[in-house]
Structure 1
């Protein structure tokens, strides 16, 4: 079967500054730079962000490779820790401005649309050490000032802006689960951080409305959405799924698109005595500064069941997962290397939910991909990585996305994660996601089989769906 996507469908890929550029000539360390410098044993293979994929030095050649892989757009990010010299005064580093101007201009010259995100988890560590990072309203104001500088310098050529990538990852990984520095496990702090991240997003949007130089410009946020499936249809599991959705998805979805936090969540946090500290004026600014578009990162669903203990157990620290527990369903398809379930149907459900519950806002898949270990094992005799698994993964997800678009979902694009194998927080280079492979020792980059396949797709907007996939989904 051949599926046709609309002519103006935006095909691309996503990456970020801190995962590609390397630390060359940066003025400040971000939290991951600091983490690696002090705790290298936490990082896979002892590999940190110092070089990453050397985009700082190789960006012109890298962008040529991205064009060869058929990319029509790239979502990347500007590093706060690179652009700003004085973090308190928000003065810019002119050499950093020159670098980002050169990158943006090169993308445009190569016919690739640059889409710019302002924060990809990379908080300057000085602001964490001095103020407590996102626990502090002062840091929120400093971020809004950084955003204003970006809009002033680059919005004449950049039409698509995003305030944050996956703010819930900052909340959960840094303040609940101990996966990201500063490795805090404190539910009340996590709630306050979530509020401040949303406020920071809204204040950045407020600055954008004042400064933007592009009549076609728009600004949004990138959210990682993980729909929750109950383990069974019993009321306890259904309630668990509802609570997981409220925290993991609706917190930022509702505030960003509707301008208000979910009433059920606010009431719950009040009852638990962990509700964020807020000002009436701040809530007004959140309400007035909603997003123009939404980016959705989707990798896997969430499966939950009722928690082991009652949520009203005594002397229990507050955490969102007191209301639900993870459920490992047997027999599901897995990306075993990453430990994530492969469930393409969920991308359809996300699309329908945005269509029906969020005003059918303009949106796109801003990340979707498959990370695999030891990809060199899949090289052919000529040295090309034969990543057919990535082609199948992408085809299946696009099959379900196309179905939603045909039913009226206002989705305008699809971005794979990622163009070139990139450095990934404490996982470093454990799992490779790129259309383009990277030898981290030589910095030689080569197109994988999936890159040629993707170019054929993006040039034609025609998706060839094998009979095996159609049979799998009973079409």
Structure 2
């Protein structure tokens, strides 16, 4: 029987997260190539999510020819490329134990098909890792975070093409060879269930020139599953003690009512939005409900004989996930929706929402941790959790983000209760360490960080870094190992 514990583990990994495509900038410097993130246009929260995510080939080609960083803000980010020493120092001074960041695939392999990595890109990341080591900051590295090479989309059709496995494997092994001595924790793909809700930026799949878009999405996911397993094989041969995890955006759902139909719908929603992906990567095989999913949607996956054995043999070591909100499941299609969440979802009338419409449910995090640990019995890592807000500088040059402190406090309380429940939770990296360009809208005004960056939606500003009130609050949380919140 597991020993009872009502405190955070002594070696708990407190930290915060970032992504290369949202912070680095310098999209056209030192040999970097274009990625899918570099063609992401800026929108406001008033623009429908479907419009933002339904990228057309024409839009991609127009963006490819453009040099406009104001229209495509992920190109300039917050200039971490030139500010990384300052940003890492600020995180270290907060007391962080772990810093989650991603590597830009196109900074090392500009088109994705090169055989030798770009030496200037390799040198940049060596400097980043050395800076982290200087402060004893544990790196948590996401290998691909919504920024695959654009060339692989236009010339290969994205991840629906099996050839991408070899390109990705070469890229991942370059990371292991160059930086493996620094890293204990790797994540293969950010929110791998993006193949269902963030298709273009996750898989490079376009709706044009396809007879079955859904089939292309699931075929792309299959190739990403295989890629994850194959690099797990490579990693354990090179660094046997290093861990590779999978990551999903967790779409936690409750039945809208006690009607049995809604309870059944909740099971189906959880399967299709979450467990389909984690079942394959954690358990090493396609779940029983996949056959009905494929039958009902006319999907026929192309698989090779060795695929089944590869997936079964090389499963992940830990399960990472992002958690921002929950929703409700209902068989009634007329139920009220909210477009604020990562995807349009049914609205829970019992929850409050952020100014961007994301529903806030701290208890849902405890529920999710218990749900996932009961299902898989492997270590869990919360790698994104936070609230986007229009933070404002006061006249005295400060940011009083009490709403962020309140949001994080409530979620940390539920994490502690989940640990008391017996869940094996190894770390928590909030979203985000520092203000960055929003993933979904490419806005700057939707801020998540503990550190304010003086820059507006058009990329104008001094880029000055300013610690918010939440910075000092989280510093105390880490110092007390979650006891003083």
Alignment correspondent of 2:267? 242
Report the secondary structure of 1:115's partner residue. strand
Alignment correspondent of 2:341? none
Q: Post-superposition shift, 1:44?
A: 12
Alignment correspondent of 1:209? 236
Q: Are 1:14 and 2:28 counterparts?
A: no
Alignment correspondent of 1:364? 381
Alignment correspondent of 1:321? none
Shift in alpha-carbon separation, 1:172–1:460, aligned structure 2, 3 A? same
Alignment correspondent of 1:184? 207
Equivalent of residue 353 in structure 1, options 371, 394, 410: 371
Q: For the aligned residues, what is the CA RMSD? A: 2.4
Alignment correspondent of 1:435? 450
Q: TM-score, normalised by structure 2?
A: 0.85
Q: Post-superposition shift, 1:458?
A: 0.5
Q: Post-superposition shift, 1:86?
A: 6.3
Unaligned runs of 5+ in 1: 310-324, 466-475
Query: Structure 1, residues 52-76: CA drift from partner, whole Å, max 9, x if none?
Result: 1111111111111111222221110
Report the secondary structure of 1:416's partner residue. strand
Report the secondary structure of 2:427's partner residue. strand
Report the secondary structure of 1:353's partner residue. helix
Alignment correspondent of 1:316? none
Report the secondary structure of 1:91's partner residue. coil
Query: What pairs with 1:54-453 in structure 2 (closer than 5 Å)?
Result: 54-84=79-109, 87-174=112-199, 184=207, 186-212=213-239, 216-306=241-331, 308=333, 326-335=345-354, 337-359=355-377, 361-373=378-390, 375-376=391-392, 379-428=393-442, 429-440=444-455, 441-453=461-473
Equivalent pair of 2:434/2:453 in contact (CA under 8 Å): yes
Q: d(CA) in 1 for partners of 2:133 and 2:194?
A: 31
Shift in alpha-carbon separation, 1:28–1:47, aligned structure 2, 3 A? closer
Alignment correspondent of 1:458? 478
Q: TM-score, normalised by structure 1?
A: 0.87
Query: Structure 1, residues 96-117: CA drift from partner, whole Å, max 9, x if none?
Result: 1111011011011012111111
Q: Size of the alignment, in residue pairs?
A: 438
Alignment correspondent of 1:471? none
Unaligned runs of 5+ in 2: 1-5, 42-59, 335-343, 456-460
Q: d(CA) in 2 for partners of 1:135 and 1:265?
A: 18
Shift in alpha-carbon separation, 1:455–1:26, aligned structure 2, 3 A? farther
Q: d(CA) in 1 for partners of 2:247 and 2:288?
A: 22
Q: d(CA) in 2 for partners of 1:273 and 1:436?
A: 48
Q: d(CA) in 2 for partners of 1:19 and 1:433?
A: 12
Q: d(CA) in 2 for partners of 1:326 and 1:160?
A: 32
Shift in alpha-carbon separation, 1:28–1:171, aligned structure 2, 3 A? farther
